[in-house]
Structure 1
Amino acid sequence: MTGTRVLVLNSGSSSLKYQLLDMSDSALLAQGLVERIGERTSRLRHTPAGGETRAQDGPIADHDAALKAVAAELDRDGLGLDSPELVAIGHRVVHGGQRFTEPTVVDDSVLAEIERLIPVAPLHNPANLTGIRTARALRPDLPQVAVFDTAFHTTMPESAARYALDVATADAHRVRRYGFHGTSHAYVSRATAKLLGRAPKDVNVIVLHLGNGASASAVRGGRCVDTSMGLTPLEGLVMGTRSGDLDPAVIFHLMRVGEMSADEIDTLLNKRSGLIGLCGDNDMREILRRIDEGDEQARLAFDIYIHRLKKYIGAYYAVLGRVDAIAFTAGVGENAAPVREAALAGLDELGIRVDGGLNAVRADGARLISPPAARVAVAVVPTDEELEIATQTYALVGKGGPEST
């Protein structure tokens, strides 16, 4: 096998995000996004490396048409999907259950298992399946590799993965803590070790993936030992539209007293809670702007968000026993300096401090924002889930691709 290119596909219910990478040096060759698939207002935005973004507007009927449109754009750049340089297509799959603990070449049995997991990932796995099936039809000769969001968290001990439910009931319905954002947590934990000049096996890291969806993980020596999301991405931190941790009896209360249906409560907790439920905005930039203007509702939402985040930092410090670094990543984690400052304020006794000047600087690339003498390093590490998927895919089918940072 002489090719070194990997196409990464992240299929949503009405979108297709993609990157084409050359794994000989992890170079990004092209990237883009197809939005509103199945609507009259579909749009494809394609950007070749070093080139101008091209936009294509007009109806794109389905994912098959979307991938063919992407292939045509790549062909215009001399990067066509029929190139012998392309060795595999890597797919983000949100839920892999307990079976899939590593990247997996897709065959019919793998597809069947991903489909069987739809009840625990109804919003994500169907779209991921569509992307895989579309790519298989277009290039049946190429290995299609599924990289699972849950895989990184399968190293959690049973004490962290199990809920305190009747064991027979939990096992019968596959109820346990799976965790999500695994490709991001894997990438960022290793990138943090590299930033410190140490091997991942020697470093304990608390990773804080803070975007519209948010999760935390405790990583000991490169292996996840706990994470904040559970059976679904609803558990854990306060998020843009999700409640995070909640007394389960709230659901029964809303059913009995509020006369709400299961579907209505599902919508409430996943789409109308979190920051947007607390103050009407789920964009941290807008919330911080409102706080600057004296908006008390925005301030309360921010304080609740920070309080939950700080609780998880403390909990994972206790789980790990020794913490070498705390890493912030994703949209909020990488860009919202006030969130980083507030989340770590008052933790000096734990060896955790933020340098105000370093924290305020906006910069590309991984960087430290803690004082040089701090016992626990605090880092900002831009995540790269597509590179992580490509790296895992190439390592599986490319006979030992380069190691991810």
Structure 2
Amino acid sequence: MTRDNGRITGNTSVEGDHAMTLRSTVPMAQRSAIVAVLAAFAFTPAAAAADPGTALPELPELTDGHGLTIVDQPEWVADSDRTFVFSVATDEVPTPSLQPGQDPGEHDIMITLPEDYDPSAEYPVLYSLHGNGDRADSAANRQMGERATRDEPVITVWPNGGRSWYSNWVNPGDQGPQNWETFHLDQLIPFIDDNLATDASREGRAIAGHSMGGFGAFHYAQHRPELFSYVGSFSGGLDLLSPEMRAAVVATTLDPASGVPTTTPDAIFGSPVWPFDGVWNAQSPAQNVEPLRGMGVAMYAGNGGDLTVNPIQAVIENRARQTAVVTSANLTAAGIPHDFLDYGDGSEWAPGCTGKHSQIACLQADLDHFVALFTDRR
């Protein structure tokens, strides 16, 4: 059997659906800042068709464990002999927010295997975290993952992240537990190691992500540095002390384009307003860099390029870059080596990259470079 993952979700009308949501819930003085940053976290690139497959390899048979229950066993994504999708349920996040086409209570997880995958080998694993408004099993993610690892013996895991901000929520309310960090780190990672041919050591594991996922990658690596040897952020929102970042997170809790049901502004990190913002401060990757010492660290961002062309995505990338600038400064002050690929308008980074947020050409180059860093380090 095969599965068609040619679905790309996300809101392309920030002044439409987003503005309608914000108009009824947020004071006038805050709307423009929130709308201006929200679009950055909706990932809506066009998908590319995969090459037709030939004879499909045998799919792995997965076994329940570590708190995860298999809902759907693996199915090959249409026209691929390397990428499959399966679904699990977990009591840590029993009711995730849903994008169109997703099933209640289920988490789709996409896996890209190395070419000529050998179940008796031990492959390094890259955990790749999607942005807000995107989904793990989008065709764009599949395309980028397969291209970046075409000649690399790496397993790529794309977990469902919903609107999670890759955190255990402080005030989940009626949605019930939203313990995304526990789901991904304490359940999914050992589950993958039990069911696939992985190198289960720290040196055999890396984590990276785009936008909200870049925040998540740093957040996870800082909380559990014993799990990862390399961490990467692709235009991630890394500075929770920034008012723009706080507005973006709050807006994603209120906006249906980030998933349904929506929730309350304080659901994820509590109140963003001083003096009640202690969780925001404690969880901000930019200011809490010490756990990254000894780990490979890479950040990628453009400056938005021509701000009159696709201005929302341009401005958002520009502000995401600023969070990387702050993080880089703090890493430098702490004496922690890192790579900051600050590629400006993108003209020298990749053909078709113009320095905007959520551009496939930019993200493909980011992922290609990061995979090479990770595999070279081993």
TM-score normalised per structure 2: 0.31
TM-score normalised per structure 1: 0.30
Higher relative contact order (CA 8 A, sep 6+): 2
